[in-house]
Amino acid sequence: MYSIENLIKTALNEDIGSGDITTDNLIAPDLAGRGVVVARENIVVAGLDVACRVFECLDPEIIFRPECKDGDTVLNDKVILKVEGKLRNILMGERTALNFLQHLSGIATHVRSYVNILGDRKVRLVDTRKTTPGLRVLEKYAVRIGGAFNHRMGLYDGVLIKDNHIAACGSIKKAVQNIRDNVSHLLKIEVEVSSLTQVRDAIEAGVDVIMLDNMGLDMIKQSIKYIDKRSLVEVSGQITKDTLNQMADSGVDIISVGALTHSAGSVDLSMHIEHV
């Protein structure tokens, strides 16, 4: 079972190990302090609860005071949060808390830039399974905070018949029939296609969603015309900010972009200490 608590504890253990040699030898055990986290660029915040839990794992008596909420746009030099308590524990948790905040806020900020390009278009922007191992739940949460949506969370919660499945089964028709014979009727079936012939095969098989993978714009438009609303249409592969609106205006229902997670950088945050 996935546990954010275990993930946080693993991250803390990775950083602290047998103890913080520097802090333990410089800071008195009962010395109190306040840590103030500041944005060093304009960002969309994500991960405040995770950062809070980092400090709570070290010291349940630490007081966590967010100055904003996840999803807020925070400008350069603005305070994001304050944390008060024993200074040793604040310093030991600083890097782990910031690592989570910087990474998740980086994804949310990156995703928001795509969402802003799409404006009020009705197309749904979704992520993929191209996530950092062990961090999928958190990264997909950050995608939602940024304003986009999640595709399936993993292999367990959605049927997506890809090219290698089709190759192994021999055809789209056989793959779809095998799925229907073995899974609940409540599950929708999506098939990845890369040619007009496969589009026709998917329609004849009666699938719910057709993913147009790595197709050029002309072929996408031909496919949409042929599908004629008989299934939802998703487009994926080599989609950039420069081509995003073209894809959205082509008539597709869903745009999936792996770059929402795998190409997002961390934002710049810093913490300074104040005595209390």
- Contact predicate 171/200, CB 8 Å: no
Residue type, 84: E
Which residue carries 């229907």 as its tokens? 180
Over residues 74-127, the pLDDT tens digits come to 999 999 999 999 999 999 999 999 999 999 999 999 999 999 999 999 999 999
Over residues 247-270, the pLDDT tens digits come to 999 999 999 999 999 999 999 999
Separation CA 92–CA 15 (nearest Å): 8
- In order of 95, 104, 223, 224, 260, the CA distances from 212 in angstroms are 42, 29, 8, 9, 18
Separation CA 199–CA 230 (nearest Å): 11
Tokens of 33: 């302090």
Give the pairing of strands 189-193 and 209-213.
parallel
- Contact predicate 18/244, CB 8 Å: no
pLDDT at 2: 58
Domain boundaries, the chain: 4-115+264-275, 119-262
Q: How many CB atoms lie within 10 A of CB 225?
A: 9
CATH of domain 4-115+264-275: 3.90.1170.20
Average per-residue pLDDT in the chain? 97
pLDDT at 3: 86
Which residues carry out catalysis? 95, 130, 162, 192, 213
pLDDT at 275: 83
pLDDT at 1: 41
- Contact predicate 163/211, CB 8 Å: no
- Contact predicate 147/181, CB 8 Å: no
Percentage of the chain lying above the pLDDT 70 cut: 99
- Helix ranges, 120-192 (H): 136-146, 163-169, 172-182
Among the four given CATH numbers 1.25.40.20, 3.30.1360.10, 3.40.50.150, 3.20.20.70, the one describing domain 119-262: 3.20.20.70
Residue ranges of the chain whose pLDDT lies below 70: 1-2
